[in-house]
């Protein structure tokens, strides 16, 4: 009798009984079956230790040698490529909020393997106009789940985005840096803190670097960036 009730509860538990968001197969853990999970595009193992750009033998890339970003390291498990790019797009622009759990699951699984800890975990903030238009900050959900997993404190009030900058996707690398240079402000001192900033996708890393720079100006001793997927822009 008891086991029947337990079975009923388990069968109705949405986390265990979710359909795979890619192939529709039932009983998919956090919305992804094992087959589809294995198909997700992983980052190459040999990459720049600073910005995660693929490099021969894992050497420091040319950009980081010439002009290193303000963050200390970029941690990223996946490439922004099929089919993950479609999921991220549907979550962000198609308001498929149930995908928050699936995508958070991917970044927390990666975080668990890495064993890092921070004094504070923050999302990359959205400008208020963009937040009003989208209704939610896609990075906040990822950052909250990430903070929970590594037992670190979450805050979405440390910094804010001053101006609604041009979409980074339309710009080349140098323009991206200029576009976000003055976009962020940090409200409090962060003396001696190690801070993780979380976002869904990084391309040149310009946004993450601009935010890291402001946080370091407030005294943070280390700033790492954690993103779900790294895109590679054709423009350089
Ligand atoms: Zn599947
Ligand atoms: Zn690099």
β-partners of residue 235 are none
**In angstroms, rounded to a whole number, what is the distance separating the alpha carbons of residues 30 and 99?**
9
**In angstroms, rounded to a whole number, what is the distance separating the alpha carbons of residues 82 and 73?**
25
**In angstroms, rounded to a whole number, what is the distance separating the alpha carbons of residues 205 and 179?**
12
- In CATH, what class is 41-230? alpha beta
Residue 97 pLDDT? 82
Residue 172 pLDDT? 81
Count of beta carbons in the 10 Å neighbourhood of residue 104: 21
For ligand 1, a single-atom ion, which residues have Cβ within 5 Å?
Answer: 20, 22-23, 25, 33, 36
The CA 37 to ligand 1 mean position distance, Å, reads: 7
Taking only the tens place, the pLDDT of each residue in 204-220 is: 899 999 999 999 999 99
Domain with CATH 3.40.50 in the chain: 41-230
Which residue ranges in the chain fall short of pLDDT 50? 1-2, 10-11, 235-236
Ligand nearest to the CA of 53: 2
The CA 73 to ligand 2 mean position distance, Å, reads: 9
């Amino acid at each position: 009798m008891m086991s029947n009730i337990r079975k009923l509860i388990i069968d109705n538990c949405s986390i265990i009984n979710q359909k795979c968001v890619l192939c529709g197969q039932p009983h998919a853990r956090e919305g992804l079956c094992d087959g589809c999970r294995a198909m997700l595009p992983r980052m190459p193992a040999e990459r720049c230790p600073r910005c995660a750009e693929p490099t021969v033998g894992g050497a420091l890339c040319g950009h980081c040698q010439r002009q290193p970003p303000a963050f200390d390291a970029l941690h990223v498990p996946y490439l922004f490529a099929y089919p993950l790019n479609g999921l991220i797009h549907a979550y962000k622009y198609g308001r498929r909020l149930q995908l928050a759990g699936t995508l958070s699951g991917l970044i927390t699984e990666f975080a668990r393997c890495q064993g890092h800890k921070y004094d504070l975990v923050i999302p990359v903030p959205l400008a208020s106009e963009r937040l009003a238009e989208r209704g939610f900050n896609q990075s906040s959900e990822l950052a909250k789940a990430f903070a929970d997993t590594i037992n670190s404190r979450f805050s979405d009030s440390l910094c804010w985005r001053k101006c609604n900058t041009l979409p980074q996707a339309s710009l080349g690398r140098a323009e991206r840096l200029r576009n976000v240079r003055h976009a962020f402000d940090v409200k409090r001192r962060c003396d001696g803190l190690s801070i993780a900033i979380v976002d869904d996708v990084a391309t040149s890393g310009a946004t993450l670097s601009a935010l890291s720079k402001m946080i370091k100006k407030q005294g943070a001793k280390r700033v790492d960036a954690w993103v779900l997927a790294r895109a590679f822009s054709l423009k350089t």
